[in-house]
Structure 1
Amino acid sequence: MAELESQAVMPKLISYLSSLLQRVADSNDLAAKFAPQKISVFHGLTRPGISVQTYLERIFKYANCSPSCFVVAYVYLDRFTHRQPALPINSFNVHRLLITSVMVAAKFMDDMYYNNAYYAKVGGISTTEMNFLEVDFLFGLGFHLNVTPTTFQTYCLHLQREMLLLNPTPSDLAESTLCGRSPTQHQYICFNDDESSHQQQQQQQQLAV
């Protein structure tokens, strides 16, 4: 986490994360042409006019949360999409999912954070909507908010892979396997073996009880 505490690193982190989310949203938009997707409270009536990167830059500028919050928000988004496969990230919901995940991460990670009304203003939504989104997001996560150092590092590595996709060398292109799915499948942010194994262990423990 220490490397992320440098503010000089943050613009790159924002760029990599927004690029990854945009690619996932575009892929799932394409998948929606083959199979209808469930509408949720995160779903807007139209695609927002602001890009994912500009929106994430706005959150970074005004939320004032610790740099690690953006990685933790990334973890939460991935957990949410795996737990809610009928609600893939797309162009209609990515912005609301972003502001909600960052807000929840800030509340979990930071000693000081803004209230929901402030995050609503940053996100361009009403406070009432922000409250509903937070509740839906938490239940969608199953309130699984803890992020271990190993999991944190794993997601940092996924962001580093995104850096290689944005600035590839020939060998990087040959080895890149991030989010490799067909257009007719929902694309997740990443596939994390560590997270999957942890969830399986939890399920086995619950079954054993």
Structure 2
Amino acid sequence: MAELECPSVMSKLIAYLSSLLQQVAESNDLNPRFHQQKISAFHGLSRPSISIQSYLERIFKYANCSPSCYVVAYVYLDRFTQQQPSLSINSFNVHRLLITSVMIAAKFMDDMYYNNAYYAKVGGITTTEINFLEVDFLFGLGFQLNVNPTTFHTYCSYLQKEMFLLQPPLNTQDPSLSSSSSSSSSQTYKSRSTKLLHYEEDQQQEVVAV
């Protein structure tokens, strides 16, 4: 989508995806099932000190991949969580999942991209580790890397709609209304974010029908 080429749009997308993933990770951290779930190669020994947003902004700054890669990486994360239900996104694995999904999306989408060693430096991990994570992620996806135009535009439209809903009102004369609207928007966001990473599954009928 041409809109993604706009720096302000990409900035909002990065911020939204970061907030979304943080909400999902924090929600799963509090889930009692989190302590019983499968420990994967993506699971770190401790929570990284860098925030999800700072980490994604770092990837965006240094990876130099096309804007579409971030939408495709989001699709991959969605597919991955659907096919690996015992491995939910949490604070211990979200950073490694992010750098791996973006790297694979760049390889699939872009004509030119950096090698694994470069992405390892950007992500703050070793080349050996990112090589292993790449293989693990690909098998976790079942090598389903193709994202057809309908699916891509469906995800883009959804993300644009969600970003628009989260924007504060531009012209609010009554401060009390502004506060109420902001609170309502926040509650809506929290309720959406905990289940958002199943969007492709929810929209499968629509995508196939189109």
TM range (shorter): 0.7 to 0.9
Q: Give the equivalent residue in structure 2 for 1:66.
A: 66
Whole-angstrom CA distance in 1 between matches of 2:57 and 2:25: 18
CA RMSD, Structure 1 to Structure 2 (Å): 2.8
- 1:162 positional shift: 3.5
Contact 1:106 1:113 in 2 (8 A): yes
Contact 1:78 1:189 in 2 (8 A): yes
Q: Give the equivalent residue in structure 1 for 2:82.
A: 82
Spell out the pairing of 1:2-21 with structure 2 (5 A cutoff): 2-21=2-21
- 1:195 positional shift: 5.4
Per-residue CA deviation, residues 140-181 of structure 1 (Å, 9 max, x unaligned), is: 011111111221122123323442454356397499488648
C-alpha change, 1:62 and 1:34, in structure 2 (3 Å) is: closer
Per-residue CA deviation, residues 57-105 of structure 1 (Å, 9 max, x unaligned), is: 0000000000110010000000000010100100000000000000000
Q: Are 1:97 and 2:105 matched, yes or no? A: no
Spell out the pairing of 1:38-57 with structure 2 (5 A cutoff): 38-57=38-57
Contact 1:179 1:188 in 2 (8 A): no
Contact 2:75 2:200 in 1 (8 A): no
Q: Give the equivalent residue in structure 2 for 1:205.
A: none
TM (norm. structure 1) is: 0.83
Whole-angstrom CA distance in 1 between matches of 2:206 and 2:158: 18
C-alpha change, 1:47 and 1:178, in structure 2 (3 Å) is: closer
Q: Are 1:155 and 2:163 matched, yes or no? A: no
Name stretches of at least 5 consecutive residues in structure 2 with no aligned partner.
170-180
Moved more, 148-157 or 49-58: 148-157
Whole-angstrom CA distance in 2 between matches of 1:85 and 1:199: 22
C-alpha change, 1:7 and 1:177, in structure 2 (3 Å) is: closer
Aligned amino acid, residue 76 of structure 2: Y
Whole-angstrom CA distance in 2 between matches of 1:46 and 1:127: 20
C-alpha change, 1:129 and 1:62, in structure 2 (3 Å) is: same
Q: Give the equivalent residue in structure 2 for 1:122.
A: 122
User: SS of the residue aligned with 1:9?
Assistant: helix
C-alpha change, 1:165 and 1:195, in structure 2 (3 Å) is: closer
- 1:198 positional shift: 8.7
Whole-angstrom CA distance in 2 between matches of 1:179 and 1:106: 31
Contact 2:82 2:198 in 1 (8 A): no
C-alpha change, 1:167 and 1:190, in structure 2 (3 Å) is: farther
Q: Give the equivalent residue in structure 1 for 2:112.
A: 112
Contact 1:66 1:110 in 2 (8 A): yes
Whole-angstrom CA distance in 1 between matches of 2:125 and 2:51: 16
Q: Give the equivalent residue in structure 1 for 2:144.
A: 144
Whole-angstrom CA distance in 2 between matches of 1:5 and 1:120: 25
Per-residue CA deviation, residues 36-76 of structure 1 (Å, 9 max, x unaligned), is: 22100000000000000000000000000001100100000
TM (norm. structure 2) is: 0.83
